[in-house]
Chain A
Amino acid sequence: MLDMLGIVLMGLGTAFFVAGTVGLLRFPDVYCRLHALTKADGMGLALICLGAACTADAWGEAVRILLIWVFVALSGATAGHLIARHARRAGTPMQEGRQ
């Protein structure tokens, strides 16, 4: 039962990663791409970590997997912010909005 839940969660997480990758390839400028990548992959990683924690054998393992999620999410957000700020300071243009 818990294993099934884990597999479903990991499958959902993979779908988010696919969506993030499509966004990375298709979006017009670096800021949109970063947005797609950090948000979608953050969610995908959260689901995959939850799924992996569901299939873990021991409590300690599950806690460690969840800790990995917390820290990867923190560093992902910080790295995304760094890249976006660097791009902005370097003068990378933004795609104008279309109505």
Chain B
Amino acid sequence: MTEPLLVFDLLLAGVVVAVAALTLLVRDAFAMIVAFVVFGIFVAIAFVRLAAPDVALAEAAIGTGVTGALMLRALAHLRGGSLSGKDPAPLSGPTRATTLGIDGTLAVCVTVALGIAFFGAPQAGPGIEAEVAAALPQSGVAHPVTAVLLNFRSYDTLMEIVVLLAAVIVVWQVDRGLSGASDPLTGEVYQGFARVILPVAVTVGGYLLWIGAAAPGGAFQAGAVLAAVAVLVLLSRLYTPAAAHRHLIRATFVAGTVVFAAVALGVAGAGRTAFEYPPGHAKSLILLIESALTISIAVTLGALFHGREPASPLRKETR
């Protein structure tokens, strides 16, 4: 046998497909979410085997951890505030047909877009590693993935953070209009556990942010770890969102986008275009952007989990 881990890889590939099928076929929504989380863990291991630790970290932290928590939160909301509650009545009639039509159209669009991207990409030959490696000394960081995300293709990254900002704005807007929304879940987790874990988790988040300049890590992974901190703080009721903190929370939502855009535009001029960091200051500028992004991502994801603007004056209270 040429490759001793070949059996492991084949098993892993089989398991990923099997768990994906399970996720789609199981009828209970809670079991579906659990299967999705298991699927994400196996996909993260697959990315490790493909020598892509950055993607594996992102998949494990964001794609599995934070997304799983958000989906469980949404399910509890649908079941009237508790996961052990009843599923809402299934859709019927024209609503069902419309929903199926929209979902089907979206699924086809995504599949077609992925197909175009896959078949449009060069099928063989080297990728852009050589170009990235050649430009790495000017990027200000030593890790190629961070260099691509925060320097060479930073416009894309800015758009990602804008998407997150848009999501939280929409969630707060929708929540304002819901009169019968269930209260957010808090206070379920043992506080002693939270008190032990929180300092360590914050340290790990800071470490991921700092190490991102030289090794796998960076703003999104650090933000996801700190978002887990936020979720734990909410669930153990160490912090309850108060009306007085609304302005601070809103400022934190936009901080990442604002700092990123301000730096990107601020470096323009004197022969440079936007997003073209001066080589001498590239590392400090990237770290500045990443720090703001990390805090923004963490607070935004935490707020998405909580799902409610604290004591909004515009919220309809009809109960």
Question: Residues of A with Cβ closer than 8 Å to B?
Answer: 71, 74-75, 78, 81-82, 86, 89-90
Contact = CB atoms under 8 A, between A and B. Distances in A.
A86 B83 contact: yes
A74 B84 contact: no
Contacts of A71: 197, 200
B239 interface: no
A86 B185 CA distance: 13
A55 to B, nearest CB: 16
A89 to B, nearest CB: 8
A67 B200 CA distance: 10
B193 A75 contact: yes
Q: How large is the interface on B (under 10, 10 to 19, 20 to 34, 35 or more residues)?
A: under 10
Interface in B141-195: 188-190, 193
A75 B232 CA distance: 11
A46 B154 CA distance: 42
Given A74-B193, A74-B197, A82-B190, 15 more contacts: A71-B197, A71-B200, A74-B196, A75-B193, A75-B197, A78-B189, A78-B190, A78-B193, A81-B190, A82-B188, A82-B189, A86-B83, A86-B84, A89-B84, A90-B84
A67 to B, nearest CB: 8
A95 B197 CA distance: 34
A71 B84 CA distance: 28
Nearest to B235: A82
Interface of B: 83-84, 188-190, 193, 196-197, 200
18 contacts: A71-B197, A71-B200, A74-B193, A74-B196, A74-B197, A75-B193, A75-B197, A78-B189, A78-B190, A78-B193, A81-B190, A82-B188, A82-B189, A82-B190, A86-B83, A86-B84, A89-B84, A90-B84
A70 to B, nearest CB: 9
A1 to B, nearest CB: 23
A78 B195 CA distance: 12
B142 to A, nearest CB: 20
Nearest to A89: B84
Contacts of B196: 74
A6 B84 CA distance: 43
B300 to A, nearest CB: 24
A78 to B, nearest CB: 4
Nearest to A67: B200
Contacts of B189: 78, 82
Contacts of B84: 86, 89-90
Contacts of A90: 84
A86 B76 CA distance: 13
Contacts of A78: 189-190, 193
Nearest to A90: B84
A10 to B, nearest CB: 15
A17 to B, nearest CB: 15
A75 B200 CA distance: 13
A81 B190 CA distance: 9
Contacts of B83: 86
Contacts of B188: 82
Contacts of A81: 190
A74 B198 CA distance: 12
A71 B196 CA distance: 9
Contacts of A75: 193, 197
The 7 A-B residue pairs with the shortest CB-CB distance, nearest first, are A90-B84, A78-B193, A78-B190, A74-B196, A74-B193, A82-B188, A82-B189
